[in-house]
Structure 1
Amino acid sequence: MTPSLSAGCVIAVLGAESTGKTELARALATRLAQRGIKATLVPEYLREWCEREARTPRPDEQAGIAAEQTRRIADAARHGVAVADTTALMTAVYSDMLFDDPSLYADALAAQSRYAMTLLTALDLPWVADGLQRDGPHVREPVDGRVRGALGRAGIPFAVVHGRGPERLMNAWTALNLATQAEAPTSRLGTGGDAPTGWRGACDKCSDPVCEHRMFTDLLHQRASKG
Structure 2
Amino acid sequence: MAETALRVALLGAESTGKTALSLALGQALNDCGIACTVVPEYLREWCEREARTPLPEEQSAIAQEQARRVIAAARDAALVLADTTPLMTAVYSDLLFKDTRLYADAARHQQGYALTLLTGLDLPWVADGLQRDGPQVREPVDARLRQALSEHQLPYQVVYGTGERRLQNALLPLTRLPRLPGRERLLERLASLRDEQVLNRPWRCEHCSDGACEHKLFSGLLPRGS
TM-score by length of 1: 0.78
Question: Quick one: distance in 2 between partners of 1:98 and 1:106?
Answer: 18
Could you tell me which residue of structure 2 aligns to residue 68 of structure 1? 65
Q: Deviations over 1:183-204 (max 9, x none)?
A: 5479xxxxxxxxxxxxxxxx98
Return 123-132 or 146-155, whichever deviates more: 146-155
8 Å CA contact retained: 1:8, 1:78: yes
Q: CA RMSD in A?
A: 2.3
The residue type paired with residue 11 of structure 2 is L
The residue type paired with residue 71 of structure 2 is A
From 83, 96, 110, the equivalent of 1:85 is 83
Q: Deviations over 1:16-43 (max 9, x none)?
A: 0000000000011111111111111100
Q: Secondary structure of the equivalent of 2:122?
A: coil
The residue type paired with residue 114 of structure 2 is A
Q: Please state if 1:8 is matched with 2:5.
A: yes
Number of aligned positions between the proteins: 190
8 Å CA contact retained: 2:10, 2:117: yes
Within 5 Å, give how 1:7-26 maps onto structure 2: 7-26=4-23
Could you tell me which residue of structure 1 aligns to residue 109 of structure 2? 111
From 47, 52, 62, the equivalent of 2:49 is 52
How far did residue 209 of structure 1 move?
1.1
- Give structure 1 stretches of 5+ with no counterpart: 1-5, 187-202, 216-227
Q: Deviations over 1:50-101 (max 9, x none)?
A: 0000000000000000000000000111111111111110000000000000
Q: Secondary structure of the equivalent of 1:109?
A: helix
- Deviant stretches of 4+, over 3 Å: 183-186, 212-215
How far did residue 214 of structure 1 move?
7.2
How far did residue 211 of structure 1 move?
2.0
8 Å CA contact retained: 2:159, 2:166: yes
Could you tell me which residue of structure 1 aligns to residue 145 of structure 2? 147
